[in-house]
Structure 1
């Protein structure tokens, strides 16, 4: 039950942001529910009509879990660090929200149909005004998910347009055509709103990626490393982490002899090799021309630090393929272990850098 409601296949990060935007509407949901309930009660009392009362009661009941769903989503998102963890989770939340929205749309349409069946033009005018207000809110708030928004609009408008069309009075034909033209225009507006929101989110994410990542290797830069490090949460079972500061040995001769494009090729291959040894919880960043930092997290025992540093060193041993042939580049590594509950990244980097200096003094391709 987690298939996406979509018209276009958005990238997962964009899709997650679009779904999250659906849930920032608790205020308007309250207002829609109060207007529906208040007007429905007025009509039910004025007409002494049990069917109108039943529709009103059902609409009020449906709004209660919708509001609780919005609040539950906010708590879930906050516990997850401010964003949904993946597209599958987002799809599940989208489905939950959509079911409540479509059901409420159907009940609102049902109230309008009841007024058309009764035939009083004043009451018809009241419910049609409510219908237009509801649809306008749906367009403004939910165009980020065009299929869900479009379904809600059609469930609301199409039955009312059909009821107006079959009503004997001639002016109701004009009203029915007006409803359908409104629906067509509304769907066009929804598409435009979705396209604008998607472009905005895509651009923002691209800019964020550029700000956090090294453009050559795709690894984190210093800013991205700092952000990712702040999200690391030590656990009682694995309360420690380690910082490994790596400096390439023999890289400058590659640049001098073969040129900077060859050096760039080596750096991208270094990054690719680092990715192969990282666990999902580890971090890797390029923090200088030929300097890399690896965060090993979590660490359960201090002996794991030296073992992982040796794994890092070993992944640099094999030759690198450039246009002119093969070249060899090694690395010296300085490591430090953090045991404090809230370790300071700058202090850890400084300690690892000092250990790196000691390793360099001891000889190339050394781990300290």
Structure 2
């Protein structure tokens, strides 16, 4: 969606195809770190993000039983002062809403729902998209942002399949009005670590909701998907030895709002494109979610690609400049996201130290500005 907004603002005619039957409130919370916030500021959406996102002052890695702060991380105004942009935690539907509103302003009627892509027919002068509802559309250039099991990616690269990462996860959104005072503290965003498990939670929507993701390292394969129903009791059993705050948050999950999924990744590749088709986001570089960079990398991709398309003479120049600008950085983030998961789940939290913690800030990711980086 960020790529579509970038291009529409620059005067390009765009069409967006969504396989869901309607644009409804689905998904969960996500983190938008300063590198991506700068991309949204470039699109004129900085103030909108301040209205819908929460910029917590303190984030931290904490002990799963004692809640002791192992690695405190200053966020809030510290991010603004140091990097020129806040880190926000926000509901996925809310950020989609501001992107869709801006897209409709610049390109009315360009979003088509209930269009599941089934094939891509690449020709010398056009690309035809074929959908399950028998619709067909031709375009000069196609950007595939259709997730880890991308149909567009398959058309470019063949049948390389995602690989199970060794993690399953549960997610939930919990209304906070029924929680106890002890279920909140000065740390608006926390990751409680233990051998083989991580429970991450943060407040969203003016602290009216907690978003959480609970990870388990396991050799047992789990079905890939984002919205596979699960049971709250299963999550409680898995995290039974965690502190009471974590258990209270899990217990407050609406029964119909608990989901489980297997985390799948792909080996990094050095080409994302064909002559008139390219990829972005999880379709190009699915990440393990332990640095919270999935959404931020997709936002970066979209802004950078839009800038390059505006400033390129032909499609081959677009592809060359885009892959040069993005592949090395995304490989770096993919590698370190994987390492972060190994550190979180592989160490005894009693011996985990700040020296062990190499997070996205310490790796320099927040310095990046997709709206101004040389491309």
Normalised by the shorter chain, which TM-score bucket? under 0.3
TM-score by length of 2: 0.22
Greater relative contact order, per chain length (Cα 8 Å cut-off, separation 6+): 2
**Bigger-Rg structure (1/2):** 1
- Structure having the higher helix fraction is 1
- Structure having the higher strand fraction is 2
